[in-house]
Structure 1
Amino acid sequence: MEGQTFRAAQSTKNTPATPNNKPTIGGKVAPAAVAALVLNDVDAFQSARTEIEEILEECARRAEQEINRKQLGGKKPGKVECDQEIGKRPNGTPVTQAMRLGLEKHKEARECADKALNQLIPGQFSLEQRYRFDPATGRKSLVSRDTREKLVRQGREKELEGTLEPDVVIHPGDPLKAWAVYDFKFPCPETNPPTWSKYPKGHPYQGRTQGEMYRRALGPSPSRVTPLDGVIPDPIW
């Protein structure tokens, strides 16, 4: 979801040592992981893509299981539970159980990805990096955490409308030069299709989807990552 707090790509947490310096997820060695890599070019990234995507898939699965365990005693939520209204936003629109679980699972998955990717490709990924994009010119720029927080403090959140914030971007060290873009999706119930969000009427991107705008702004065709289906590449429009 757009509007979540920016997190730096580099984790500040200490990560336990593992054999051969392999990335870990939840204290365990990540699947098919290798020692820390330096991705010098897009070909090097393509060679490492399988390892990167296995990490993201495992993080999505573990986030699903962990939050279901904490919130539902390990039970998978059904349609009735997902649709249950648990509160309201300031504007009066309802907040459902599905929304709350989705936010918590996103947070869990991103923390997992932060730890593992920081060992595999340190400095060559970003989590929740916010981008400002001008569809008319194709220009994009980074929105820093400080800038976002300042606008929120000043009640100027409207100025963030139209910015984009994918969950994971893989790059050569510069987030403006994306090699791959991923978004975690946690359908509720899990059998629902993991669709891209569509921008509402009145939004600068109204009628378009989140995935389409990631593609237009960042270049690579983005992928969704779900607990049930793993990485789902999008077609090139």
Structure 2
Amino acid sequence: MGLRRWTHGLWVVLGVGLGGCAGPRQGTYEQRGFDTPSNSCRTHPALCIGPESVLPGVRAAEVAVVVAGARAMLDEDAKRSVESVLKECADLARSQVLLRYHEGKFPTPAQCKEQVYNAQSESVSRAIWLGSQMHAVALECVEQKFDSMMPGRFSIEPTYRFDRRTGTSTLISKEEVQLLKQPRFRHELKGTLTPDFVIHTGDPLQVSVVYDFKFPCTNVSEPPDWRSGGSSLSGPTQKESYMQAFRLGTRQVLRVVPRLGIFE
């Protein structure tokens, strides 16, 4: 199904900025103590993007969202506007986390491999730990922006069971996911799919576009590859699994990479 398809419905045009993304919200990732994006870029140019090397933290993006019937698709203008917000949230997350935990510097490859402890007292690589922190900030930013842009038309980190034999997907409730994250039940989540950000028709099983944030640990010039979605390196990638589970085309399953942009 092509992304250039125009759908009928109500257009909602909103001007949004990222100024509200940095504020803490109860029960979510704590963001106090961070510098503002613009100040961060002035003092740490390596973290910045764009022709003037200034992170557009207060730049407004006009977002056109199509509210339509079954299997609503984003047209190209709406898709570009949505993705501009996703890119800014990714850039903001990278800048804030590196400033707070790494003095605004990129870790070296050796530092990325070092073992640290996460909130569950589990030993993980610094790359995984930093990526987790950046995901939390980015998704908090996304939630704040899209709550007003397209309420009811998106999900953040939804979890699905995909039956490859029947080609059907089932949404797992947030409450059940939290229960299954306990060590004794964690095996029940094996093989489930949890994309970062999903745009849908209002029914989370009717997915229009999937976006996954990818946060490389060190500074890179190429986007990281899609991870294998299975237990075997020869298994399907995350992208392939999303395409199969939601019956999407390659341009409807995308990576969001700070500084670099959006990639298939």
Shorter-chain TM-score tier:
0.7 to 0.9
CA displacement, residues 131-176 of structure 1 (integer Å, 9 cap, x when unaligned): 1110111011100011122333482221111110000000111111
Residue in 1 that maps onto 2:116 = 86
Q: Which residue of 2 aligns with 1:173?
A: 202
- Secondary structure of 1:82's partner? helix
Q: Structure 2 matches for 1:45-124, cutoff 5 A? A: 45-87=75-117, 95-124=124-153
Q: Distance in 2 between matches of 1:132 and 1:179?
A: 18
Q: Which residues of 2 match residues 117-196 of structure 1 at below 5 A?
A: 117-153=146-182, 155-191=184-220, 193-196=223-226
Residue 219 of structure 1 pairs with residue 250 of structure 2? no
Corresponding residue number in structure 2 for 1:9: none
3-state DSSP of counterpart to 1:189: coil
Mark the runs of 5 or more structure 2 residues left unpaired by the alignment: 1-12, 21-56
Structure 1 residues 152 and 77 mapped into 2: Cα distance closer, same or farther (>3 Å)?
closer
Q: TM-score, normalised by structure 1?
A: 0.79
Report the equivalent of 2:261.
Answer: 230
SS at match of 1:149: helix
Is 1:23 the counterpart of 2:51? The answer is no
Contact kept? 2:223, 2:257, Cα under 8 Å: no
Deviation, 1:232, is: 0.5
Q: Which of the pair has the greater relative contact order for Cα pairs under 8 Å at 6+ separation?
A: 1
Per the TM alignment, residue 200 of structure 1 is displaced from its structure 2 partner at its CA by 5.3
Q: TM-score under structure 2 normalisation? A: 0.71
CA distance in 2, matches of 1:85, 1:151: 26
Aligned CA distance change for structure 1 residues 197 and 89 (closer, same or farther; 3 Å): farther
CA distance in 1, matches of 2:164, 2:119: 30
Kept after mapping to 2: 8 A contact 1:86/1:96: yes
In structure 2, what residue type is equivalent to 1:39?
V
| Per-residue deviation, residues 69-89 of structure 1 (Å, max 9, x unmatched) | 000111122212212222499
Q: Cα RMSD between the aligned structures?
A: 2.6
Instruction: Return the alpha-carbon distance in structure 2 between the equivalents of residues 44 and 198 of structure 1.
Output: 28
In 2, Cα distance between equivalents of 1:207 and 1:44 = 30
Per-residue Cα deviation, 1:73-116 (whole angstroms, up to 9, x for no partner)? 111222122122224999x8x51111110000001000001011
Give 5+ residue unaligned stretches, structure 1: 1-19
- Percent identity, aligned pairs only, is 36
Q: Which residue of 2 aligns with 1:39?
A: 67
SS at match of 1:179: strand
Kindly indicate whether the alpha-carbon contact (under 8 Å) linking 2:159 and 2:173 is maintained by their aligned counterparts in 1.
yes
Shift of 1:207: 1.9
Does the aligned pair in 2 maintain the 1:63–1:109 contact within 8 Å?
yes
Q: CA 1:157–1:51 in 2, change beyond 3 Å: closer, same or farther?
A: same
Q: How many residues align?
A: 209
